Amino acid sequence: MAAKRGFRKRQRRLIMLGLVLPALFAAVGLTLYGLRSSTVYFYAPSDLPNAQELAERTIRLGGMVVKDSVVQGEGTLVSFLVTDFEETVLVTFDGLLPGLFADEEGVVAQGKLLADGTFKAERVLAKHDEKYMPPEVAESLKGDYGEYQRQRKED
């Protein structure tokens, strides 16, 4: 009798968890999905709201640094173009660029979008992609480096 009661209790606990946990997980999942558009870490140039909408809010802009677009100004002043291959934004920045910052590599800039459509960055972060390789391999690929880069963008 006692064993049977224990069995029933155990089943009740199982059913309870079986109902509560999936419901809870679904709720969290739906919440996150619903919040997705307002929890963006950075905007791509083509997703960028206009300057009036942002009203001086600090945002992050992410994309690829356009090749040969980096212009060194006076002192540590620097400007470069960021693109998502649809739209391109001019970014100005006064400070030191991170070590991994390079042409045709990912970048995340934090700052404000100005009324003239340029982006004034207060902070620039370099993004790294998921590919790792030894320098010798990269060297031997150098002839095909452009090819490699193109292929990577398509991924």
Partner 1 sequence: MEFISKLANPERFMRVSQWLLPIFAVLAFICLIGGGIWALGFSPADFRQGDTVKIMYVHVPAAWMSMATYAIMGVASFVGFVWRHTLADIAARQAAPMGFAFTLLALMTGSVWGQLTWGVWWDWDARMTSMLVLLFIYAGYMVIWQVIENETQAARLAAILCMVGVINLPIIKFSVDFWESLHQEASIIRADGPSMPASMYLPLLAMALGYTFLFSTYLLMRMRTVILMKRRGSKTKGRAPSIAKTVAGETV
The one segment of 32-40, 50-58, 64-72, 75-83 that binds partner 1 by CB under 8 A: 32-40
In the range 77-116, which residues lie near partner 1 by CB under 8 A? 97-102, 105, 108
108 to 10, 50, 138, 146: CA distances (angstroms):
52, 18, 24, 22
User: CA dihedral in degrees (74, 81, 66, 131; nearest 10)?
Assistant: 100
| Interaction between residue 135 and partner 1 (CB under 8 A) | yes
Given a contact cutoff of 8 angstroms between Cβ atoms, the answer to whether 125 and 98 are in contact is yes
**Nearer to partner 1 among residue 104 and residue 114 (C-beta):** 104
- From the list 51-59, 71-79, 85-93, 118-126, the region that binds partner 1 by CB under 8 A is 118-126
How many CB atoms are closer than 10 A to CB 140? 11
Nearest one of 38, 59, 56 to 114, comparing CA atoms: 56
91 and 121 Cβ atoms separated by less than 8 Å: yes
Is the Cβ of residue 52 or residue 131 nearer to partner 1 in the bound state? 131
Q: Which of 5, 130, 143, 154 contacts partner 1 by CB under 8 A?
A: 130
Our finding on whether 136 is near partner 1 (CB under 8 A) is: yes
Give whichever of 37 and 52 is closer to partner 1, judged by the CB atom. Answer: 37
Q: Which two tokens stand for residue 80?
A: 């470069």
Q: Which residues bind partner 1 (CB under 8 A)?
A: 10, 13-14, 17, 21, 24-25, 28-29, 32, 36, 39-42, 44, 62, 97-102, 105, 108, 123-139
